[in-house]
Amino acid sequence: MSLRDNLIRGTGPRVLIRAWHQQETLAKGAARAQRLLGGRASVEFYFAFDSPYSAAALAPLIEIARKRRGELQAFVVGKHGIQGDPDADMRKAYEVLDAGRLLRRQGKSLSRTKPLAASEVRELTLLAEAARRAGKGNDFAAAALKKLWCEDGDGAPQLADYEALYSEVIGKAPGGALNKLSSAVSDNEKRLDRKGHWEVPTALVGGQWFFAHERLEQIDAWLGELGW
């Protein structure tokens, strides 16, 4: 086997793992410094409304952030996943089955049996971005995901219902220029990509990425290791 081959198959991954361990040590130091300066833990969360996993992730993540006195920022995206994924349709169908089981772990249940297309939740996505800009993004996103995946039946969401939810959470009706927020949602997608991930629901915590729906305990444990 060539030197290059050995590098790719063995040495390279081993070096990466060592580098990540060092990064963890640095992250703990950085967290200590942050606390001394009165800072809080930061959880950067990316989600999408066509992802039932997002419904399983956000509410418990909000609780974890609250428990750790951290700041959770939830960014909504429209496009996510790997372009050209030949298994995309199978993934979407499986997600509904699997998210139902994950919610069952939390004592909750999924009300939908079929996947949603990104096009069916486009306006809801823009509402969520508007809510984030109004300072209540987490609350709206959690309420909307719960309604969409744990209360509504199959079929496209009714925008009027979610506009009413928006008014209830934000305290005023959404503005008329929602379409102008498309570029903001696109910025969220670019941010996710730039920071090194491709999918949702994902959380960036202390320099580490986690698939939030299936790593809630690990996120909590990592925040604990960081001293929060």
Residues that bind another protein (CB under 8 A): 1, 8-10, 13-14, 16-17, 20, 82-87, 90-91, 93-94, 97-98, 101-102, 104-105, 193, 196-198, 208-211, 214-215, 218, 221
State the nearest-atom distance from the C-beta of 85 to another protein, in Å: 6
State the nearest-atom distance from the C-beta of 87 to another protein, in Å: 4
State the nearest-atom distance from the C-beta of 171 to another protein, in Å: 38
Rounded distance, CA 131 to CA 139, Å?
A: 9
* Phi, psi at 19, each rounded to 5°: -65, -40
Q: Which residues contact 124 (CB under 8 A, 6 or more apart)?
A: 49, 144, 148, 157, 159, 162
State the nearest-atom distance from the C-beta of 82 to another protein, in Å: 5
Residue 97 or 164 having the CB closest to another protein = 97
Provide the pairing of β-strand 42-47 with 71-76: parallel
Residue 136 or 197 having the CB closest to another protein = 197
Residue 93 or 173 having the CB closest to another protein = 93
Rounded distance, CA 112 to CA 25, Å?
A: 43
State the nearest-atom distance from the C-beta of 100 to another protein, in Å: 10
Rounded distance, CA 53 to CA 176, Å?
A: 30
State the nearest-atom distance from the C-beta of 105 to another protein, in Å: 7
Residue 25 or 83 having the CB closest to another protein = 83
Residue 50 or 95 having the CB closest to another protein = 95
State the nearest-atom distance from the C-beta of 32 to another protein, in Å: 21
Residue 11 or 119 having the CB closest to another protein = 11
Residue with tokens 């305990």: 217
Residue 36 or 87 having the CB closest to another protein = 87
